[in-house]
Amino acid sequence: MEPWEELFSALEAFDEEQAEQKREGRNDFNLLSSVLSVNDEVRLHTRFIYALLNPRGKHYQGTRFLELFLEAIGRQDWLDPTSVTVLKEHCPDGQGDQIDLWITDGKRQIVVENKLNAQDQPRQVARYLEVINATDPAQADETLFIYLTKNRQTPSAFGLGGLTVCHRTSRLLNTCSQPVAHYQNLSYRKNTQQASIHTWLESCVNAVGRQSHIAWALQDYQAVVERATKEYVSKVKTLKDILEEGIAEGKRHHEQAIQLTRELPAIHASWLEQALTSNLEELFEPFVSKGDMTRIGPENVELLSPFVHTAFQKDASGLLYAPRFNFFRARNGTRNRGAFYRLETGPWAKEAVLMLFYGSKMLHVGCLLTEDADRSIEGLMPTLKLSEPAALKSKIFPRVMTYAEALEYQGIIHLADFSNSPQRGVLDELLTGLSCADSTTLSGGNEI
């Protein structure tokens, strides 16, 4: 099998396998991430962790999850679980500083600073220790500061505010090099040399039994964390899997994918160009040659004036398609371009224009009307699935009816086979509906 045939065969098999997996019920649905961003540090991560650690939480597990947390960080006897208090977004002095999570048994205390993505604030660590009265070296064993991140080694000097981290003793030291608190890193990442939050979450799942509702919530959160750290693996086969399998088997799939990526814009540009030029010219040539239609171009662009808003009436040439303004060639002026043909005979002579047009995202095919044109044509809208696109109507064309598709997706795929495309079908129906043609004319002599 030729290399390109092998790639497309693998992609076709992948498409079928993925569809079958979805039919079987495999999915990547996540309740938490459907409500909040996976990177929402406060409302999702801090509050979910708090909900688990709080002995009075609705999980009704008492101190179970807190004890498992202490065990996961290697400090199972550090607090007295029977007298513990857990607070989120705690403001000890009632003024400015809010500690993400504060845990205390009345004697010892833990500060958890959650830094999923946020940067350290000025003197943040020093200020937190000050506000909870944890600056006395004599009380250094009573406070633990946990820095929860995606794998940062320590807070920045900016955030430490004069304190330093001694990795040898796992202590926070003051400016006199005296310890004022214990220090510990905790990582959101699953694959890490540091202590990982996943160790705790997995122990919680095992503690409640994998089929319980709490376990499902925990597993949902684990997936959220994996997405936030870019470690999530889809439960449905992905294109990434295909490329990695190909590399492992010594195939050229990845090189071919790169080549496709480079060449696709030019291929798409050629399909769009052909549709807006030769395909439309071929379709409308019988009508243009008989004087039933006029192609609007730079030489007669004033014919478009009655169909556009005031801003374009003096010069509508900026709406005409030209190869250098092709949507798939990234440069200024590559949006809001199209091809236009005005009707010259029949009930809507000089009052209707057929067009193929693209905006910033959508490909439109349909009809423009003058302000005074007969409104009976609007009866065709339901049959042809036409609508009045709000953006075009308010900014460019006062009276417009189109069938629209996303140009970079369904639109460009359909234009690759223009003769069988929905766009061609809409234009054929409009020609018939506007009494410009019958089925014999459109099919070149064969009934359609």
Rg (CA), the chain: 33
Interval 264-268 mean pLDDT = 92
**Average predicted confidence (pLDDT) for the chain:** 91
Residue 225 to residue 232: CA distance in whole angstroms: 8
What per-residue confidence (pLDDT) applies to 447?
Answer: 33
Under DSSP, the state recorded for 268 is H
Let me know: does 339 contact 333? Beta carbons within 8 Å.
no
- CA quadruple 216, 217, 221, 222: dihedral, nearest 10: -30
Angle at which helix 239-248 crosses helix 3-23, to 10 degrees, equals: 140
What per-residue confidence (pLDDT) applies to 332?
Answer: 60
pLDDT > 90? residue 255: no
Residue 344 to residue 241: CA distance in whole angstroms: 56
Interval 39-53 mean pLDDT = 96
pLDDT > 50? residue 446: no
> What digits encode the pLDDT tens for the residues 125-135?
999 999 999 99
pLDDT > 50? residue 311: yes
> What digits encode the pLDDT tens for the residues 332-363?
668 999 999 999 998 889 999 999 999 999 99
Residue 387 to residue 394: CA distance in whole angstroms: 14
pLDDT > 50? residue 368: yes
What per-residue confidence (pLDDT) applies to 438?
Answer: 52
Determine if the pTM surpasses 0.85. Answer: no
DSSP notation for 31-99: HHHHHS-TT-IIIIIIHHHHHHH-TTSTT--TTHHHHHHHHHTT-TTSS-GGG-EEEEEE-TTSSS--E
What per-residue confidence (pLDDT) applies to 83?
Answer: 95
Residue 169 to residue 151: CA distance in whole angstroms: 19
What per-residue confidence (pLDDT) applies to 439?
Answer: 45
Closest C-alpha to 152, from 114, 181, 179, 180 = 114
DSSP notation for 407-433: IIIIIHHHHTTGGGSHHHHHHHHHHHH
Percentage of residues in the chain having pLDDT higher than 90 = 73
> So where are the chain's domains?
3-22+237-251, 31-228, 265-442
Least confident segment among 209-218, 249-258, 316-325, 361-370: 249-258
Between 181 and 432, the more confident residue is 181
What per-residue confidence (pLDDT) applies to 444?
Answer: 47
- φ, ψ for residue 280, nearest 5 deg: -70, -40
CA-to-CA separations, 131 to 108, 144, 176, 233, in angstroms, rounded: 15, 14, 20, 41
Interval 242-246 mean pLDDT = 82
Between 9 and 270, the more confident residue is 270
What per-residue confidence (pLDDT) applies to 437?
Answer: 56
pLDDT > 50? residue 448: no
What per-residue confidence (pLDDT) applies to 440?
Answer: 47
Residues in the chain: 448
